[in-house]
Chains A and B, each alone.
Chain A
Amino acid sequence: DVKVTQSSRYLVKRTGEKVFLECVQDMDHENMFWYRQDPGLGLRLIYFSYDVKMKEKGDIPEGYSVSREKKERFSLILESASTNQTSMYLCASSLLTSEAFFGQGTRLTVV
């Protein structure tokens, strides 16, 4: 079975902090994605990557950056956390189809 693991289930950070969310997949998938999920807004794509060192902006990239130095790892970075970035963050991976396998999610609270 595909396993996508996010480094933390819950995080509490202060406004202005630099925050790293880590995601690792163990199935050699080419594609990796970061979403945020908010009530009433659904899942919104922040960034995605089709290959190592490649990244593409999604629908809401402002305030975020990503890093993919190794195929199995995709990191989401909040350069200076703000309260409006409080959300559930979901990482996903896929092979050569659109079928996505998700991690368990990280619930981030920025205070």
Chain B
Amino acid sequence: TQLLEQSPQFLSIQEGENLTVYCNSSSVFSSLQWYRQEPGEGPVLLVTVVTGGEVKKLKRLTFQFGDARKDSSLHITAAQPGDTGLYLCAGAEAGSYQLTFGKGTKLSVIP
């Protein structure tokens, strides 16, 4: 089973600050996804990256896939309280629909 390591596990920041969350593996993934989960709810897909070096932007969120497709990062600019939640990365092997999930980064943005 491939493993995805996320860091940091917990992050508490003030509104308006920037932050970066990391997702690393020793394995190559054909695609990598980021989800956000709010307490008591299921994860919601934010983005999928498939090409090494790919960068995608979703408003104040910037997602990057590593050149070797083994790692990814999520950068949030000027964090808002509404960004609070659990951020999960998940990777899929080539030819598989099965996802391997990281354990998540719990983000708290304090007003």
Contact = CB atoms under 8 A, between A and B. Distances in A.
Nearest to B44: A102
Interface residues of A, number: 28
Interface string A9-27: 1000000000000000000
A9 to B, nearest CB: 8
A104 B41 contact: yes
A94 B103 contact: no
B103 A40 contact: yes
Interface in B68-111: 88, 90, 92, 96-99, 101-104
Among B33, B98, B101, the one with the most A-chain Cβ atoms within 10 Å of its Cβ is B98
20 contacts: A42-B88, A42-B103, A43-B88, A45-B99, A58-B98, A59-B1, A90-B43, A96-B97, A97-B48, A98-B33, A98-B90, A98-B96, A98-B97, A99-B45, A99-B48, A100-B33, A104-B40, A104-B41, A105-B40, A105-B41
A100 B103 contact: no
Contacts, number: 60
A101 interface: yes
Interface of A: 4, 9, 31, 33, 35, 40-43, 45, 48, 50, 58-59, 90, 92, 94, 96-105, 107
